[in-house]
Amino acid sequence: MNASVRPREIPGTTLFDGTQARKGYALNKMCYSFNDAANREAFKADEDGYCTRYGLNDTQREAIRARNVLQLIAAGGNVYYLAKFAGIFGLDVQDLGAQQTGMSKDAFKAKLLAAGRN
Amino acid sequence: MATLVGGITTSHVPAIGRAIARDLQGDPYWKPFFDSFPPVHAWLDQVKPDVAVLLYNDHGLNFFLDKMPTFSVGAAPEYRNADEGWGIPVLPPFKGELDLSWHLIESLAAEEFDLTTCQEMLVDHAFTLPMALLFPGHDAWPVTTVPVCINTVQFPLPSAARCWKLGQAIGRAIQSWDADKRVVVIGTGGLSHQLDGERAGFINKDFDLKFMDSLIADPTWATKYSIADLVELTGTQGVELLMWLAARGALSDTVKKVHANYHIPISNTAAGLMVLENAV
């Protein structure tokens, strides 16, 4: 890769750059479709068929099956579109935060409250 | 000519929409946040804007990665929102201000900003929730609107310095608009927060407070940081301070602070609020 576009290393952070956007296009396009309630229902009715229709690769399909946010990001997912996928299951950004940090949701919320007291 | 009455900057966390829909304004978790808004309502009652120019970032409702403009300006007679995939309450449509939209587009293009113009545009929570916070309890929105969207989804993002200059050009355009209208500029987003990755939940109170102070005392302070610096210092979504910077850029060199508040947390986010007026 050209040195001038090598992404900055920030621990625990993925910048959604061209590399990620290329990798994740099909996955993100599927998640973007969940803006529409009818598409959310179609996904729930046949998850595998819906993933096939959008052309997800095996890694992306496995991450979708596992509902695993870190795997979805590694597979090129962007958090704004992934949030729409999570919404199908009634999960909010604090559920996502808890899952990604390996904490319970209560512990994650407590960490945020503590940030306000420091 | 139009009058620029001042600027408001506020966070736009989706959970705010659910709290409003469930009447949780007095709930202990929410009270410190909602209690910061009555002084803003009083100021709005006093300065009586006719039009709001909203600088915000779309989170994958109107724009997808197939076409991702860096700067886009709404030029629609009406803007609607949608449930965004998670059943967020949908608010009444917002009336556009077409004359100002096209004046902004002409003025910004003349100042070498290459824009995307949108005669149809869905607006997401980053637009609708600040409107709901600033103008509660109205049957119809008391202002017409012009949305200005800044890309914070697909890197590379516009630099802080570029967003500052965009804001300055917006300020000049508003003040050269040949209309007897009063205009408020609103910048939404931030402050520090990160939704994605192992660093989810990251907050940087010291930086946020410095940034808020800088908007009064040294408004170009944050333009010295690269986008990567800002992500490192404020989180992947904390970079939404770009909208604050652009809104501040629309005001004059010297401003007066009318009101400010800072509260951690709302959901995963450090919530900030400022009201600024041009000093004369």
In angstroms, how far is CA B236 from the centroid of its own chain? 17
Q: Do A78 and B153 touch (CB under 8 A)?
A: yes
A90 Cβ contact list (under 8 Å, min separation 6): none
Could you give the percent of chain A with pLDDT greater than 70?
93
Distance CA B222, CA B231 (A): 12
Task: Say if residues B262 and B270 touch (Cβ distance below 8 Å).
Answer: yes
User: Residue A82: which domain range?
Assistant: 16-90
Q: What is the mean pLDDT of residues B53-72?
A: 98
Which residues 6+ apart lie within 8 Å of B264 measured at CB? Answer: A112, A113, A115, A116, B203, B205, B270, B271
Q: Which of B87, B199, B202 sits opposite A87 (nearest CB)?
A: B87
A12 to chain B: which residues are within 8 Å by CB? 197-200, 202
Contacts of residue A91, Cβ cutoff 8 Å, sequence gap at least 6: none
Per-residue pLDDT, B138: 76
CB contact under 8 A, B268 and A10: no
Residue A30 belongs to domain with CATH number: 1.10.700.10
Q: Which CATH superfamily is domain B3-278 in?
A: LigB-like (3.40.830.10)
Q: How far is CA B108 from CA A100, B81, B115, B151, in A?
A: 41, 26, 8, 17
Give me the pLDDT at residue B139, please: 76
Question: Would the pLDDT of A3 be above 60?
Answer: no
Residue among B216, B217, B214 nearest B225 (CA):
B214
- Rounded average pLDDT over B211-226: 98
Residue A35 pLDDT level (bands cut at 50, 70, 90): very high
Q: What is the mean pLDDT of residues A64-85?
A: 97
Separation CA A86–CA A18 (nearest Å): 24
Instruction: Determine whether the interchain pair B85/A40 forms a contact, defined as Cβ–Cβ distance below 8 Å.
Output: yes
At residue A92, the 3 state secondary structure works out as: coil
- pLDDT tens-digit map of B183-202: 999 999 999 999 999 999 99
Q: Check whether B93 has a pLDDT greater than 60.
A: yes
Instruction: Examine residue A32 and state whether it is found in any structural domain, yes or no.
Output: yes
Q: Are B256 and B279 in contact (CB under 8 A)?
A: yes
Assign B263 a pLDDT band (cuts: 50, 70, 90).
very high
Question: Does A2 have pLDDT greater than 80?
Answer: no
Domain residue limits, chain B: 3-278
The DSSP secondary structure of chain B, one letter per residue, reads --EEEEEEEE---THHHHHHHTT-TTSTTTHHHHTTSHHHHHHHHHH--SEEEEEE---SSS--TTS--SEEEE--SEEB---TTTTPPPPPPEEB-HHHHHHHHHHHHHTT---EEESS-B--HHHHHHHHHHSTT-SS-SSEEEEEEE--SSSSPPPHHHHHHHHHHHHHHHHT--SS-EEEEEEE--SS---SSTTTT---HHHHHHHHHHHHH-TTGGGGS-HHHHHHHH-TTGGGHHHHHHHHHTS-SSEEEEEEEEEEEETTEEEEEEEEEE--
CB B97 within 8 A of CB B146: yes
Q: Angle of helix B38-47 relative to helix B125-134, nearest 10 degrees?
A: 80
- Residue B237 has a pLDDT of 97
Number of domains in chain A: 1
Confidence of residue B86 (pLDDT cuts 50, 70, 90): confident
Are B97 and B170 contacting, i.e. CB atoms less than 8 angstroms apart? no
Give the residue-averaged pLDDT of B149-168: 98
Question: A-chain residues within 8 Å CB-CB of B197?
Answer: 12-14, 70, 73, 100
Residue A8 included in any domain: no
Confidence of residue B229 (pLDDT cuts 50, 70, 90): very high
Residue B118 pLDDT greater than 80, yes or no:
yes
Give A37's contacts (C-beta < 8 A, 6+ positions apart): B83
Mean pLDDT of the B68-94 span: 93
To the nearest whole number, what is the mean pLDDT of chain B?
Answer: 96
> pLDDT-based confidence at A12, cuts 50/70/90?
very high
Q: Is the CB of residue B137 less than 8 Å away from at least one CB of chain A? A: no
Candidates B62, B84, B196, B231: best to mutate against A (most CBs of A within 10 A) is B196
Q: How many CB pairs under 8 A join A and B?
A: 133
Beta-carbon contacts of B37 under 8 Å, excluding residues fewer than 6 positions away, are B133, B134, B136, B273
User: In whole angstroms, how far apart are CA B136 and each of A14, B34, B40, B140?
Assistant: 37, 11, 11, 10
Q: pLDDT tens across A84-114, in order?
A: 999 999 988 999 999 999 999 999 999 999 9
